[in-house]
């Protein structure tokens, strides 16, 4: 008689921010497919409802959603409370939300734009991590994944973006990820980062819908194609699972072979 093996994230609970489309949605879908209960979220109720309905239509019944602007403390608290109420604990957190006001010359960046980007991309990720850690501890451990970008690793990945508030916030996220390793390890929590290259989402359409920018990007990508959100999702699932049980503080680049260093 055939017995089915348990899925690798069976019994686990995940929160994914900014997960009603793009990479976050693909990550939520993959974690749910791998057996986790998943709380999805983004700023707009309509998008949350549509994303939950779409996931349920694919037989992923272990998914719920709430409105959460990652930059708002009361929203982050609600996200955590609803996850605990719905699923009884938290084992995994994926900090995927980012803000990127259209970049111009670096020294034209206003203080307001700088603050907004760092508030959403870095400070809110830290505060959410800090808030979920006690709940992961209660479960005996957990796994956290931050989402940076290939623009953190290369000055020329997308012209003008490495030297921008967005680019520097993404470099800082890698620093945050590494800095939190010892304290997290003491609580049996691993923390890693996934850095997407040029992934075909609404966020990056300024690159792939513009033939000049697309040609520049392709010149740097040995695989000569855009990445897909699902290709990021598999890496996040790996980093959340016990398959990566001895990995913490690392950044995995999903960049089609783009040569990267930091």
Q: Report the catalytic residues.
A: 166
Q: Which is nearer to ligand NAP, 140 or 223 (CB)?
A: 223
Q: Where are the alpha helices (DSSP H) in the chain?
A: 22-33, 45-57, 73-87, 111-118, 124-138, 165-179, 181-185, 205-208, 211-220, 229-240
Does 76 sit near ligand NAP (CB under 6 A)? no
Q: What is the DSSP letter of 6?
A: P
CA-only gyration radius of the chain, Å: 18
Q: Which is nearer to ligand NAP, 81 or 242 (CB)?
A: 81
Run of H or E including 37: strand 37-42
Tokens 């603050």 -> residue: 115
Q: State how far the alpha carbon of 110 is from the alpha carbons of 8, 117, 171, in Å.
A: 46, 11, 19
Does 149 sit near ligand NAP (CB under 6 A)? yes
- 82's CB contacts (< 8 A; 6+ apart) are 39, 64, 66
The one among 199, 239, 253, 258 contacting ligand NAP by CB under 6 A: 199
d(Cα 149, Cα 42) in Å, to the nearest integer? 20
Q: Which is nearer to ligand NAP, 136 or 199 (CB)?
A: 199
The one among 96, 172, 237, 241 contacting ligand NAP by CB under 6 A: 96
Q: What is the DSSP annotation of 177-209?
A: HHHTHHHHHTTTEEEEEEEE-SBSSGGGHHHHT
Residues 66, 72, 76, CA angle at the centre, nearest 5°? Answer: 45
Applying the rule CB under 6 A, the residues between 205 and 244 that interact with ligand NAP are: none
Q: Which is nearer to ligand NAP, 36 or 66 (CB)?
A: 66
Does 21 sit near ligand NAP (CB under 6 A)? yes
Does 120 sit near ligand NAP (CB under 6 A)? yes
d(Cα 258, Cα 242) in Å, to the nearest integer? 27
Q: Which is nearer to ligand NAP, 97 or 136 (CB)?
A: 97
The one among 62, 177, 204, 248 contacting ligand NAP by CB under 6 A: 204
The one among 23, 63, 90, 236 contacting ligand NAP by CB under 6 A: 23
Does 164 sit near ligand NAP (CB under 6 A)? no
Q: Mark residues 32-71: x for contact with ligand NAP by CB under 6 A, - for none.
A: ----------xxx--x--------------------xxxx
The one among 9, 20, 113, 191 contacting ligand NAP by CB under 6 A: 20
Which tokens sit at 181?
């390793």
For ligand NAP, which stretch binds (CB under 6 A), given 14-22, 128-136, 183-191, 243-251? 14-22
Please give the residue ranges that form the binding site for ligand NAP (CB under 6 A): 17-18, 20-24, 42-44, 47, 68-71, 96-99, 120, 147, 149-150, 196, 198-199, 201-204
């Amino acid at each position: 008689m055939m017995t089915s093996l348990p899925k690798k994230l069976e019994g686990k609970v995940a929160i994914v921010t900014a997960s009603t489309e793009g990479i976050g949605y693909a990550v939520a879908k993959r974690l749910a497919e791998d057996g986790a209960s998943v709380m999805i979220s983004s700023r707009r109720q309509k998008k949350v409802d549509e994303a939950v309905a779409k996931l349920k239509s694919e037989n992923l019944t272990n998914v719920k959603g709430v409105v959460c602007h990652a930059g708002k403390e009361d929203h982050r608290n609600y996200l955590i409370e609803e996850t605990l109420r719905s699923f009884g604990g938290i084992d995994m957190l994926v900090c995927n939300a980012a803000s990127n006001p259209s970049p111009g010359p670096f020294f034209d960046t206003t203080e307001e734009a700088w603050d907004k980007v760092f508030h959403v991309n870095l400070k809110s990720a830290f505060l959410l991590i800090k808030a979920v850690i006690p709940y992961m501890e209660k479960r005996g451990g957990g796994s956290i994944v931050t989402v940076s970008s290939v623009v953190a690793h290369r000055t020329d990945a997308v012209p003008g973006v490495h030297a921008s508030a967005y680019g520097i916030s993404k470099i800082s996220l890698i620093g945050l990820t590494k800095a939190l390793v010892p304290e997290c390890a003491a609580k049996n929590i691993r923390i890693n980062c996934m850095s997407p290259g040029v992934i075909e989402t609404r966020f990056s359409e300024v690159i792939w819908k513009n033939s000049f920018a697309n040609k520049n990007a392709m010149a740097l990508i040995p695989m000569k194609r855009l990445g897909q959100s699902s290709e990021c999702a598999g890496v996040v699932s790996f980093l959340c699972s016990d398959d990566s049980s001895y990995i913490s503080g690392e950044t995995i680049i999903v960049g089609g072979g783009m040569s990267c260093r930091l």
